Amino acid sequence: MPKQTPDFDRIDRQLLTQLQADGRISNTELANRVGLSQSACLRRVQRLEAGGVIEGYGALLSAAALGKPDTVFIEITLHKQSEAALDAFERAVAASPDILECHLMAGEYDYLLRVAVADSADYERLHRKQLAAFPHVARIRSHFTLRRVSHRLGFEL
C-alpha cells in the first residue's frame, strides 16, 4: 500500500513555506504573514512538529567560511551486505564528524557519502585515516564538485 501524503490545507502550506525560508521567524510575524491569530498559529506549528512534518530547526553553516570549501561525494561499496556488516559500517560513519551525510543506496554501490574538505590534502587525510579504515569497505570512489548549481532547503508545497 503506498504511503499517503499528509493532507495539508492552504494555511499549513503557507506555514511550512515560511518556516523553510526563515526558521527563526517569531510566532507573531509568522501569524501575521499567514493571517492567523498568534495562538492559532502556534497550535498549528506544534501540530506539524508533533506529527513529524517539522523534524527540527537549525543553523546553516557556510563550509567555506569554516575552512572546508570543497564538497566531495563518495561512493562506498562493502565486501558484503550482511546486517552485521551494514551495522558496523553505519556505526563508524555515525562516529565520524567529517561525514555530513550518508545514504544507503540501491544500485552499483552501497553508500553515498557527502563530505566537506579544505583541499586535496584534507581529503587524503580523510581517505587514509577514516574511509579506508571503516569496516567491510571494498571500494571507495570519489567525486569532487566544481560548484553547487542548485540547493534547496525544503520542499515546494
Q: The domain spanning residue 17 has which CATH number?
A: 1.10.10.10
Q: Kindly state the average pLDDT of the residues 79-83.
A: 96
Cα-based distances in Å from 51 to 9, 36, 84, 146, 154: 15, 20, 32, 38, 17
Structural domain contains residue 4: no
Q: Where are the alpha helices (DSSP H) in the chain?
A: 10-21, 27-34, 38-50, 83-94, 120-129
Q: Based on the domain organization, do 43 and 80 belong to the same domain?
A: no
Q: In what order do the strands lie in the sheet with 99-104?
A: 99-104, 111-117, 70-78, 137-144
103 and 41, same structural domain? Answer: no
Beta pairing partners, 137: 78
Q: Measured at the alpha carbon of residue 43, what is the angle toward residues 40 and 46, in degrees to the nearest 5?
A: 150
Mean pLDDT for the stretch of residues 110-138: 97
Structure pTM? 0.84
Whether 101 and 140 map to the same domain: the answer is yes
Q: How many CB atoms lie within 10 A of CB 140?
A: 15
What single letter denotes the amino acid at residue 126?
Answer: L
Binned at pLDDT 50, 70 and 90, residue 146 comes out as: very high
Phi then psi dihedrals of residue 29, to 5 deg: -65, -40
Question: Within this chain, do residues 74 and 137 fall inside the same structural domain, yes or no?
Answer: yes
CATH number of the domain to which 125 belongs: 3.30.70.920
User: Which domain range does residue 87 map to?
Assistant: 70-144
Report whether 115 contacts 102 (CB < 8 A). no
Q: Is residue 139 part of a domain?
A: yes
DSSP-assigned letter for residue 112: E
**96 and 44 in one domain?**
no
* pLDDT the model gives residue 157: 79
Least confident span in 34-43, 84-93, 144-153: 144-153
Average per-residue pLDDT in the chain? 94
The upper half-sphere exposure of residue 122, i.e. CA atoms within 13 Å in the direction of its Cβ, equals: 14
Q: Residue 126 CB: number of other CB atoms within 10 A?
A: 20
129 in any annotated domain: yes
Residues 90, 43, single domain; the answer is: no
Which DSSP category does 11 fall into? H
pLDDT, average across residues 67-87: 97
Residue 125 lies in a domain: yes
Q: Could you read off the pLDDT of 37-64 as tens digits, one per residue?
A: 999 999 999 999 999 999 999 888 999 9
User: Cβ atoms within 10 A of the Cβ of 85, count?
Assistant: 16
Q: What percent of the chain has pLDDT over 70?
A: 96
Same domain, 111 and 76: yes
Does a structural domain hold residue 149? no
Residue 152, in any domain of the structure: no
At residue 156, the pLDDT reads 83
Examine the domain organization and report whether 40 and 80 are in the same domain: no
